[in-house]
Amino acid sequence: QVRLVESGGGLVQPGGSLRLSCAASRLTFSSYGMSWYRQAPGKERELVAAITTGGEITNYADSVKGRFTISRDNARNTVYLQMNSLKPEDTALYYCKAVALGDGYTYWGQGTQVTVSS
């Protein structure tokens, strides 16, 4: 069964950094566009960053541009989200999403919690 497993979340102080990882199994990773979403309490789930199948194109929410970087390593079936200069408003549950090239079939990870607080 297809699995997406996020890791790397935790508690950090404002201005700190974290790197999230999403490891995929049981899918042809290079055929999937990958993205990160987040959902804070009382808020809608929002797109944070996305990357095309080979890493050719990336896209970011305005709120994280210049601070976050999405990347992927197809040989390791893993997508990353490097988060720098973290702010309290970045606090959320972060989800990994895979979208199949061709038919658009999607998979979601279980989420990893990021809390930015002093």
- HEC assignment per residue over 25-45: ECCCHHHEEEEEEEECCCCCC
User: What's the confidence (pLDDT) of residue 77?
Assistant: 97
Estimate to the nearest angstrom the gap between the alpha carbon of 68 and the chain centroid. 10
Q: What is the three-class DSSP state of 69? A: strand
**CB distance 59 to 50 below 8 Å:** yes
Q: Would you place residue 105 in the very low, low, confident or very high pLDDT band (cuts 50, 70, 90)?
A: very high
Average the pLDDT over 37-54 and give the result. 97
**CB distance 111 to 59 below 8 Å:** no
Distances 43 to 49, 58, 63, 76, 90 between C-alpha atoms, Å: 17, 24, 15, 33, 12
Percent of the chain past pLDDT 90, that is, above it, reads: 97
Q: Would you place residue 43 in the very low, low, confident or very high pLDDT band (cuts 50, 70, 90)?
A: very high
Q: What's the rounded Cα separation, in Å, for the pair 81 and 36?
A: 8
Pairwise pLDDT comparison (85 vs 26), residue with the higher score: 85
